[in-house]
Amino acid sequence: MKSLRSEIAAITLVSITLISALIMWVSLSVYEDLYENFVAKELQSLSTNLANDLLPFMNEPPGNFAMLSILLRLEEYDNVEFARVYNIQADLVSSYAGNAMLSDDSDIVHHDTMLDEVLSTLPFGLKVKNGHIQVVQQIGDPAFSQGKLVISYRIAESLSAGKRNFFVAVLPFVVALLILAVFIALELQRRSLRPLFNLITQMRQIEETQNYAVTVEIKGKTEIQALTQGFNRMMFDINKQTELNRQKNQLLTKQQEQMEQLANFDPLTGLPNRQFLMKTLSIELARAKRNESDVIVLFLDLDGFKVVNDSFGHDVGDKLLCRIADLISKTLREGDIVGRLGGDEFVVILSEAPNQAELENICQRLVDILGEPQNIEQWKLDTGVSVGVAMAKDCDYQLSILMSNADIAMYHAKRNGRGQFTLFTRMMQNDNKRIIHIASSITSAIDNDEFYLVYQPKVNHNSAIQGFEALLRWYNPYLGLVSPGEFIPIAEQSDKIAQITKWVVNQVCTDLPRIQKQYGGHVVVSLNLSASDLSDDSVTDFTLQRVAQLGDLAQFIEFEITESAYLKSFQSGNIFFEKARSLDCKIALDDFGTGYSSLSYLTEFNIDTLKIDRQFVSQIGISERSELITDTIINMAVHLKLEVCAEGVETEQQAAFLKKHGCHLLQGFYFGKPEPLNKEKTYPALQ
């Protein structure tokens, strides 16, 4: 039985049917008893009457007609089997075989002496047995009994006929009542169970919709009300719990997303970060290795970003990085991956390895687009990008080597003049080994006394020496003579420039008195500083302290700084130069014309001298344009009350031109090569 409703209906039906059957059975039993009682009473009174009527004839001879005629009154009763009259001696005096006696039996009844023996000895009274009622009636007064009358009445057939009639008469009512009872029971049951089924319907709906914010109306019987209340409370709890779970899940999902975002994406630009890039790249490499295809990595490093950051603040720097990130993404094809390694370094993974021409095209596009000036806030920023390109096939699909190759190629692009791309070659790897060797040898170079200074004179228009520039030289037994153009950038990148600068400052301060003694007390000695020196307190403190020890001679010390280096450490540079000025030191802007050459910067720089770069001087007599620029720089410097020094003067013609246009100081091989002070000592190579 599947449903409660049908089970209850079945139970009700069976119960009502059983009860009805029981009632029928009881009714029939009662009917039977009543019938028997009724017949017994009738028979009793009949036998009494007959006994009274027979009494006068008891002394008559057996078989007399009067007696028989009395017994024949029984003829009107269909169910009388027989009647027999016995005298006091128990002899049969008269007998009657009734309608109910079977024809076979009537003879027996008439003549059966055995029967008479039994019947004549029966006690008085009435006995019901096996569908027969037997009445034994005393004839005459009990004190003077004259005999007995025995009447046998067959009750079975009439009883069953009566029962049948009773049954047939009652059955339709019983059936009607049964149907009515079933109908009423089912209806009542339906009404009682309706709230329960409502509850079940609601429950199914909740199951489907998962909406637990449901309250079921409380009605029905006490138990169902209690059930509904319990159901409502349960739904309330579930709903509350579900809501809490939903909120918790939401929070967890959000936190997970945030964690994933933090773990894999750069918060500033939203680009994939180093971790994500490395993961992706290792997957790409594995796939490419299987397919024997290539993976190409572009390593991008912005040119001049540090200058922007230091000069315009980190806000502007950050905006520039976002702009660059955006530009790189827009320049590439869909499927190419762009990420930020950190700082101003970006990496691009090209989804499908293009051919050489396409690759160069992509790189050039990047260089061109990122080389355009960017308008950020009120500033127009001149930045660019150097791109190193490496291929997975060149490094046997090894991730760290691939990244290192791209880095090396990028470094070459930087060294070759920035704003360009370079494809990695094996030759570069050797270069890289040399770079690593140089970087690792710098520290021991100081201890092993491998550095020495050479001084190059600066002359006035009369060719009289006004000053010297101290230039560093390094001779390493394994590397040979390493030019400052090579080791200074490496020292800067490997954070070893501070030791070098301190060494140079100390040496220049030591040499100054000797130089003045030799060339006159007016001679100024200049030394070169790197950008990182300006922002390194240990270097600036040491320098100021060491120069201060010179006392009055400090005014003959000049610091040379390139335009881009000044811009890179603009704020800290200004602080240092102010302190240096308070010691009467001088400041010269080196290599002017090669960097930003922005006149707006020039007014903000706290300098005494402008050094025109060699590239303009070398063009004097060759390029009118260069001559014009040189002339303009000199004029501008004069207006700004700055001293001008021309570098790299190699010819008389150059010297003449510069003197004619009012250049205050001239420096170059034409007037003297950089030479050590101690000329007696032998040096490995001298310029």
Residue 456 Cβ, how far from ligand C2E at the closest point, in Å? 6
> If binding is defined by CB under 5 A, does position 590 make contact with Mg ion?
yes
> If binding is defined by CB under 6 A, does position 648 make contact with ligand C2E?
yes
Report the SS3 class of residue 535.
coil
Are the beta carbons of 556 and 524 closer than 8 angstroms?
Answer: yes
> If binding is defined by CB under 6 A, does position 529 make contact with ligand C2E?
yes
Closer residue to ligand C2E (CB): 511 or 647: 647
Burial of 447 (0-12, 13-18, 19+ CB in 10 A): exposed
Distances in Å between the Cα of 491 and the Cα atoms of 121, 219, 418, 447 are 153, 89, 19, 16
List the single partner that 668 binds among ligand C2E, Mg ion, none, CB under 5 to 8 Å by kind: ligand C2E
List the single partner that 483 binds among Mg ion, ligand C2E, none, CB under 5 to 8 Å by kind: ligand C2E
> If binding is defined by CB under 6 A, does position 530 make contact with ligand C2E?
yes
Beta-bridge partners for 147: 87, 139
d(CA 551, CA 220): 108
Closer residue to ligand C2E (CB): 431 or 650: 650
Residue 611 Cβ, how far from Mg ion at the closest point, in Å? 6
Q: How many residues does the chain have?
A: 687
The two tokens of residue 467 are: 């000053």
Q: Which parts of 492-563 are beta strand (E)?
A: 524-528, 557-562
Are the beta carbons of 349 and 329 closer than 8 angstroms?
Answer: no
> If binding is defined by CB under 6 A, does position 646 make contact with ligand C2E?
no
- Residue whose C-alpha is closest to residue 473's, from 453, 499, 443: 453
d(CA 408, CA 317): 25
d(CA 535, CA 561): 13
Which residue of 354, 371, 384, 484 would you call a contact of ligand C2E, by CB under 6 A?
A: 484
User: Could you tell me which stretch among 8-16, 219-227, 266-274, 582-590 binds Mg ion (CB under 5 A)?
Assistant: 582-590
Are the beta carbons of 518 and 455 closer than 8 angstroms?
Answer: no
> If binding is defined by CB under 6 A, does position 528 make contact with ligand C2E?
yes
> If binding is defined by CB under 5 A, does position 591 make contact with Mg ion?
yes
List binders of ligand C2E among 566-585 (CB under 6 A).
none
- Residue whose C-alpha is closest to residue 468's, from 545, 406, 396, 522: 522
Residue 316 Cβ, how far from ligand C2E at the closest point, in Å? 27
Which residue of 669, 678, 684, 686 would you call a contact of ligand C2E, by CB under 6 A?
A: 669
The answer for 593, left when phi > 0, alpha when psi is -120 to 50, beta otherwise, is left
**What one-letter code names the amino acid at 15?**
S
List the single partner that 471 binds among ligand C2E, Mg ion, none, CB under 5 to 8 Å by kind: ligand C2E
Closer residue to ligand C2E (CB): 472 or 523: 472
The two tokens of residue 83 are: 């009647």
List the single partner that 489 binds among ligand C2E, Mg ion, none, CB under 5 to 8 Å by kind: none
Which residue of 307, 504, 567, 634 would you call a contact of ligand C2E, by CB under 6 A?
A: 504
**String of contacts with ligand C2E for each residue 429-468, x by CB under 6 A:** ---------------------------x------------
Report the SS3 class of residue 63.
coil
> If binding is defined by CB under 5 A, does position 560 make contact with Mg ion?
yes
> If binding is defined by CB under 6 A, does position 511 make contact with ligand C2E?
no
Residue 325 Cβ, how far from ligand C2E at the closest point, in Å? 33
Residue 647 Cβ, how far from Mg ion at the closest point, in Å? 5
d(CA 427, CA 319): 37
d(CA 516, CA 519): 5
285, containing H or E segment: helix 274-291
Closer residue to Mg ion (CB): 310 or 591: 591
> If binding is defined by CB under 5 A, does position 558 make contact with Mg ion?
no
Binding site for ligand C2E (CB under 6 A): 456, 471-472, 483-485, 488, 504, 527-530, 560, 590-591, 614, 647-650, 668-669, 674, 687
Binding site for Mg ion (CB under 5 A): 528, 560, 590-591, 647
